[in-house]
Amino acid sequence: MNAPLRLPAALDYPERADVQEGPVERWLIGVQASVMARGARLRAWRLRGILRAVRRHEARFAAMDEGELQAAGRDISLKLREVPNRLPLRVTGEAFALIREVSARVLGKRHYDVQVLGAWAMLRGQIAEMRTGEGKTLCATLAVTTAALAGRPVHVMSVNDYLTARDAEEMSPLYAFFGLSVGVVQEGQDADLRRALYRSDIVYGTNKEIAFDYLRDRAVLRRSPGNLRRKIDRLMRPGTEPLRLRGLHVAIIDEADSVLIDEARTPLIISGGETEEGGFDEALFREAMQVATDLIEGEHYRIPRGLRRIEMRPAGLDHLDEIAEGREDAFGIPVIREHAVVQALNALHIYHAGEAYLVMDGKVQIVDENTGRVMADRSWSDGLHQMVELKEGLEITKARETLSRITYQRLFRRYAHVGGMTGTARDAAWELWSVYRLAVAKIPTNKPDIRRFAGDRLFTTESRKWQAIAARAREFHEAGMPVLIGTRSVTASQQASARLAEAELPHQVLSAAQDADEAAVIAEAGQAGRITVATNMAGRGTDIKLGAGVAEAGGLAVILSERHDSRRVDRQLEGRCGRQGEPGRVEAFLSLEDELMRGKGAANLRRAGQVMSRLLGASSAGWVLRLRQKNVEALHAEARRDLLEQDRQLSRTLAVSGELE
């Protein structure tokens, strides 16, 4: 008699369903967000009950030996699983106390009370704002271990492969003590290895790598939707492509505002192989670029104030129609013609070398605007990458077919639980709640903040600004203070380096052009007399420890060479000094010719600043840059809201058509 047919165990793929709010619901959420954005300090104060719950068990665990602690871990794991989808304060406090004791023995690091508060905030679905140097990596282990002991797969996201590998390696002895497996997802791993890694209790990876693996799963699910259908496919057709992730359970996000806010302006797109059908041929690229070169801004097209976007004007569309009259090739099709010309204009006027990309080894390498790092093997979609290659005189690569797309807004709203940590969340509190339903808790510092902030120094020209920066760097250098000069682009870093070289000041440059030794360069930036030039410091993740005698000399001096589009990014750079109560100094040297003042809509403000500078002195025009920064922040927020609305509309369209993504 044949054995009975047995189907494989159910392959579930948990994730929260998309919520489609109507206009009234969105308005109410906006009102609620305004209230939630104001209670960051009070929210942190309300978390203090976890400290009492932890202290209740400290003496008991301190008296246990290793075997007893492991047995206690198994017992707590069972307690945590008794209440699905909820972590009670009483049991979580016991878990935190145990993890704290084990960490002190295994890692030699005992969690501070403020780290306990930060971890509890994350487990309550909040963003913990913690100053740089407060030990966010160790803080996360409390939340990560507790969630994993509760049987929930955890994704711990950081901003680059180095940090994910470093954090996983440093913290893995703690996880191993509790019998928890750890996987590290990194660029370049094959599909089979990744599937095995995602079976771990805890998975470390960059937000981009995990997001793209999720998109690959969505492509599989679209071809074979439904758990039952996939079970049968795997039984009857062993070659059926398996999924990578185990669903979206728990996400703990480092530099959360950078991931959830700054990177949320660009949709994530996964492409397949090179395609000829439906793509553009080289002749179309070249003709569109030639036409775009001859178009006149203001007459044929416009660049909306503060936005990185091209909009064709009626006169421009009429001009294209005249050029294409009677044509029967691809350029004769209006929608293709307009799209190709707009992408050529984007390549010419929006995406600039040294800022959006670098040309390395004969290829266009995209630079992550939020971290300043090169994103190897990434390419822009819809012909933009090919247009940039054409502009730079490089060989044009084949276009790729778009298989799946999603925004960070929709991705993280699908996780069953999201928590995060960053040094700069309060400025984005309204958006974090209105989009993700994430409240911000301002966690106090472990030691008092004694940094000194000097008033902004404003110059009418960029040249005078760099002269002043070099002179100030010399003063700090001679006083034995290390100096960190922050820039917003590779080009600005090169300018800074040139001025320092002219002044015969030894220095190190850290930018997207040379990030292999990033951690080593940053780690040495606190040595006496060291001068370091670095692009956007968001998410660098390596502590700058002061060398011998530096604290007595005044600590690390941070010089902001210009304002970024977001005040949060400036605060991230400022946070590089003064860690754990150490001394430090922050100064900003700005000019009316900085990148922030070059965009659309800045001309009138720049002229007003120049007039005030002549009448009352340069320092009187500082309000111009602050106002411009606020305007750009508002424009970027509007762009993210537009993208989210477009994504909602696309989601509704695909739902009607039966597609998943």
Contact indicator for 131, 115 with CB cutoff of 8 Å:
no
Contact indicator for 92, 52 with CB cutoff of 8 Å:
no
Shortest CA distance to 132 belongs to which of 255, 311, 314? 255
Tell me how far CA of residue 152 lies from CA of 217, 277, 405, 550, in angstroms.
19, 44, 26, 45
Q: How far apart are CA 420 and CA 252, in angstroms?
A: 5
362 is in an annotated binding site: no
Q: How far apart are CA 131 and CA 67, in angstroms?
A: 36
Distance from chain centroid for Cα 390? 29
Residues 6+ apart with CB under 8 A from 431: 33, 261, 637, 640
547 is in an annotated binding site: no
Q: What sign does the CA torsion over 246, 249, 255, 258 have?
A: positive
422 is in an annotated binding site: no
Tokens of 576: 């590089």
Q: Name the H helices within 237-351.
A: 256-260, 282-294, 314-324, 334-349
Q: What is the 3-state secondary structure (H, E, C) of 32-44?
A: HHHHHCCCHHHHH
262 is in an annotated binding site: no
Burial of 395 (0-12, 13-18, 19+ CB in 10 A): exposed
Contact indicator for 523, 542 with CB cutoff of 8 Å:
yes
Q: How far apart are CA 464 and CA 173, in angstroms?
A: 52
The Cβ of residue 316 has, within 10 Å, a number of other Cβ atoms equal to 24
609 is in an annotated binding site: no
133 is in an annotated binding site: yes
Residues 6+ apart with CB under 8 A from 102: 69, 73, 174, 177, 178
Tokens of 162: 């180095």
The Cβ of residue 77 has, within 10 Å, a number of other Cβ atoms equal to 18
Tokens of 575: 């946070």
Q: What is the 3-state secondary structure (H, E, C) of 16-80?
A: CCCCCCCHHHHHHHHHHHHHHCCCHHHHHHHCCHHHHHHHHHHHHHHCCCHHHHHHHHHHHHHHH
134 is in an annotated binding site: yes
Q: How far apart are CA 468 and CA 499, in angstroms?
A: 10
Binding residues: 115, 133-137, 543
Binding residues for ATP: 115, 133-137, 543
